Structures are given as C-alpha cells and as structure tokens.
Structure 1
Amino acid sequence: MSDVTGGVEVDLATAVIEHRMGSGEADVRSASQVSDTVLLEAVPWRTFRFYQGQRHYSGKYWAATERDHVIYESRLELSSLLLADFDPAVTRVVAQPFRLSAVVNGRLRRHIPDFLWGSGVGLTVVDVVRAQRLAENPKIQMLCEWTREVLEALGWEYRVLSEQPPILLGNVRFLAGYRREQYVDQRSLDRIRCAMDGLGGLRLDDNRQENERSRAGNALMHLLWKQEIVVDLATPLRPSSVLEVRR
C-alpha cells in the first residue's frame, strides 16, 4: 500500500525498523510488528566520539525521567531533551531509538530519529532541526514528510522541534539544578507538601526567607521542577514570581 502527500510517495508496506537491544545486537522487523515496550528499552542506534574540531557539542545529560544518562549530539538537542525531562507527561526518553527505512518515491531511504518519548497515551518520535535549516532545505523537509507518513500510519505521534523559547529554556535549565530528588531533604519536602494549600498566591521569596540557602529552599525548587508547584515560566524566574498550586 502506498500513500501520497505533498508529492512524497511512501510505500508503507516496505517500512522497517531496526533497533539495538541491551546486548548491542540489532533486531530488524516490519515497522507494523514492533512493540512500544521493545523500543522503549532500546539502546542508542549509534554513539558518538569526541574529537578535536568537531562541529557539534555532544554529551550526556542525566535525565530525572530515566534516572540515567541520555545522550545528545548538539546543544539544540540538549534543549529539547531538557524540556522533555521537565514535562510530567513524558515518562520515558530514549535517544536515537531506531533506524527507520522505507521506499520513498521509488528509492530506499533511511533515517535515525533523535528521540523517542513514552507517555500514557503512546509513543512520540522527535527530530530536532534548526528552524532556518528546516525552512530552507528541501531534503530535510522531504525526510520529515516521509518519516511522518510512516510513523503516523503506525499510530505514533511525530514532532519536529526547533529552538526553544529562550526565557522558558533558561528557567527550566535553572530548575534542572534541583531535579535530583536523592539530594533533596525528604523532611523538607514533606513539610512543604503538607502546607501546599496555603502556598497559592504567595511570592517565591515569601516562602524562602531564612530558607534561601537551606534544605527547605532546595526542596521548594525541586517541587517547582516537578511542577507540583508552578510559576509563570514565560517570564524570568525571580523572587517576586507568584506561586500556583496544581490541583
């Protein structure tokens, strides 16, 4: 069966997904036969090496979602990874989860997406591309088109992400410093959670007072990271930021 959208013809019957298991061995099967569970346990299809003069800043980010490191190949990928880790709807994050291949316009094409997110509503496959490059490069546009065709036919969501809003990204990057719950005082967390109903409408500095450099202050910032307490992150995070409690 073929599907045609915007001049891109995809033979869906030829779609194949290859993923690597923990042992490093590759598993190859028809895209329609791959289970969500298997892909969420995949290891990165490829890894990277550090070398002098490399154009991209690759690295590893310790994701609270995974309680483990997740690789990224550029600062742009890191920004999307950071926002995914902050999103409470995202329950799993896998980097370079598989290699997808399909016959597109009569030619076999392959692509390794940047990330796979798991959530309560299914899988989301993510590619990260600079907005200008996406707008100006027909080859990338075509790649995204045929990838979307295949993945949406499987019932998955496909997103192409570009630069994140600078203020939001800066705020989340700051809060990420408090993401590791193992370093937060549990008694302070419990005390703040017990007093949660009274926090709504207060300023951030109303609740930090003597706690500015204390365990309780760290606990409050951790709850902001977990979004049990929220503030407007579209504006710079300040001591005057007003707290809101999620119901």
Structure 2
Amino acid sequence: MKYQMLRATPGDGYDRIQWFDGRRFTHTIRANDPVTALTVLPGERTRKPGKWKGQRPYHGHYWCAGSRTSVFHESMAEYAGMMLIDHLYDIVRVDAQPMFMTFADGTVHYPDYLAREADGTAHVIDIHPRALTTEASDLAFANTARVCEVLGWRFTLIDQLSDIVRMNLEMMGRYRHHRYTPIAAIEEHILLTAKANESFGDLRRALATDMPGELMPFLFHLMWRRELTFDLTRAFTEHTPLTAS
C-alpha cells in the first residue's frame, strides 16, 4: 500500500477510520462493519503534538501494567485517565492517538487511546477535562460513541477525576508491576484473611509478620488487580472496607 497522509473525507454520509501501520502506510475503512473493524491495528500515532517553550501540558509515558508497555500521554490528565483504565479493565494492548475518524457529517476526531481487552473487546478512550469541553468536542465525543456502538466497541469518556480518585490510583499504582505478583499460596492467604477482616487496618494487622510490611506490596498489587476492591471515590484510610473477590 502506498504511503499517504491522513486526510479528512467530505461529509458524504459515511463514517471512516484511518490509521497507520508500523511502516506508516495508511489504512482506511468505512466504520459500519464490526468484522472489518477487526483490521484496525495501529502501528504508529496518527497525531504527534508538538512541544514549545512554556507549554503547560506535560508530555511523557505511562507504563501500562496490562499491556506491559510504555504509552504516550499528552497531559497529566491523560496519564491519570490511562491509569484508571489500566486499573479497571483487563488491558492487553493500548495505542495512543491510534486513528483518525471522519464522520458522516464531515467533522473529524483523533481519539486519545485504543485499547484491546483480554476478551478481545476494542475500547476507545477519550480524556478531556470538562472545563475545556466545547460544543465541537461534545459533538466529536457523541459521534465517536455512536460509531463505537455500531462496531461493538466500548467507548469511555473521562472528563473529570477527583483528587481522591487520583490519589487512590497512585497509591495502588506504585505496586502495579508484575514483579509484585504474589505466589499462589500468599495470594490465597491474603484473600482468605481479607474475608475475615473487613477493613484495611484490620487486614494489615492480621497479615503482620516478623518482617514489618512484608506482605503489603502483594496486598496493594491485589488491590490494583481488583482481587480486593474498595470505593475509589472515598479517601483511603485504616477504616476503609475491602472486599475480596
């Protein structure tokens, strides 16, 4: 396939998706068939934001525990949003700025992320603070949600995360790496103990060993993996209830 740039198509009544493969060749499909949509496998970012002196958005990379890859983020809002998705869903692949969508009405949109979940579900994620939302961005998100519904894809718009949710994610996220995965016997011990000790404080004390904090990294890793769950929207304390799956 000949290399070409991504171009918006006219508003001719069709929704389209364009993306680059690993060799930066362009692929285009009409976004009306779930089977054809299985071919959407981005290999390069379709949009690469520039950098300039004094810019406020912080560019960087988030290490995704699900895909075990570093994923580009354009702002700290995207970093936090990607961390939430990584925690809540079983992600096995994620691509930043994965595709260029042209809608039937002629408007266009670059979604922030396309993730693939363990069960094969495609998951489009947009992260856009509510305070910065305009009528144009609202229309883009509505069109994206509509196309995702047609294709059988999941769509998530993250437009607000409280400081409490961010702090809870960062608390667990320190232990998201697979190096903190407990062996089967320790995992079983923690989960069984959690069923008899409902609060975090009670569980922490029940898990105490001769080595202070020995099992805590494993405990937080199981919380990250949702083997132990709690209310993300409330401040985490010694009294926070934990529920074993």
- Which TM-score band applies after superposition, normalised by the shorter structure? 0.7 to 0.9
- Within a 5 Å distance, the mapping from 1:54-93 to structure 2 comes to 54-93=55-94
What does the per-residue CA deviation read over 1:8-55, in whole Å, with 9 as the maximum and x for residues that have no partner? Answer: xx9675222111112222212322367454335543222345442123
2:111/2:124 contact within 8 Å kept: yes
State the Cα distance separating 1:197 from its structure 2 match.
2.2
Q: SS of the residue aligned with 1:196?
A: helix
Q: SS of the residue aligned with 2:141?
A: helix
Instruction: Supply the AA of the counterpart residue of 1:235.
Output: R
State the Cα distance separating 1:176 from its structure 2 match.
0.5
- With over 3 angstroms needed to count, the CA separation of the structure-2 counterparts of 1:222 and 1:245, relative to structure 1, is same
* Distance in 1 of aligned mates of 2:189 and 2:37: 38
Q: Unpaired segments of 5 or more residues in structure 2?
A: 1-9
Matched, 1:244 2:243: yes
More strand per residue: 1
State the Cα distance separating 1:229 from its structure 2 match.
1.9
The number of aligned residues is 229
Instruction: Supply the AA of the counterpart residue of 1:65.
Output: G
1:16/1:102 contact within 8 Å kept: yes
The range that moved more, 19-28 or 49-58, is: 49-58
Q: SS of the residue aligned with 2:101?
A: strand
Equivalent residue, structure 2, for 1:147: 144
* Distance in 1 of aligned mates of 2:104 and 2:231: 46
Equivalent residue, structure 1, for 2:22: 22
State the Cα distance separating 1:77 from its structure 2 match.
1.3
Equivalent residue, structure 1, for 2:4: none
Instruction: Supply the AA of the counterpart residue of 1:170.
Output: M
Q: Unpaired segments of 5 or more residues in structure 1?
A: 1-9
* Distance in 1 of aligned mates of 2:128 and 2:190: 43
State the Cα distance separating 1:162 from its structure 2 match.
0.7
- With over 3 angstroms needed to count, the CA separation of the structure-2 counterparts of 1:59 and 1:195, relative to structure 1, is closer
Matched-pair identity in % = 22
- With over 3 angstroms needed to count, the CA separation of the structure-2 counterparts of 1:88 and 1:109, relative to structure 1, is closer
- Within the candidate set 186, 191, 195, 1:196 is matched to 191
1:12/1:150 contact within 8 Å kept: no
**RMSD, aligned CA:** 2.7
* Distance in 2 of aligned mates of 1:141 and 1:180: 35
Q: SS of the residue aligned with 1:164?
A: coil
- With over 3 angstroms needed to count, the CA separation of the structure-2 counterparts of 1:43 and 1:212, relative to structure 1, is farther
Q: SS of the residue aligned with 2:32?
A: helix
1:88/1:226 contact within 8 Å kept: no
What does the per-residue CA deviation read over 1:81-112, in whole Å, with 9 as the maximum and x for residues that have no partner? Answer: 010000134443322111011341xxx33211
* Distance in 1 of aligned mates of 2:24 and 2:11: 29
TM-score, reference length from structure 1: 0.79
- With over 3 angstroms needed to count, the CA separation of the structure-2 counterparts of 1:132 and 1:50, relative to structure 1, is closer
- Within a 5 Å distance, the mapping from 1:53-132 to structure 2 comes to 53-104=54-105, 108-119=106-117, 120=119, 122-132=121-131
Instruction: Supply the AA of the counterpart residue of 2:69.
Output: D
State the Cα distance separating 1:221 from its structure 2 match.
1.4
2:42/2:99 contact within 8 Å kept: no
Q: SS of the residue aligned with 1:22?
A: coil
- With over 3 angstroms needed to count, the CA separation of the structure-2 counterparts of 1:244 and 1:39, relative to structure 1, is same
1:201/1:242 contact within 8 Å kept: no
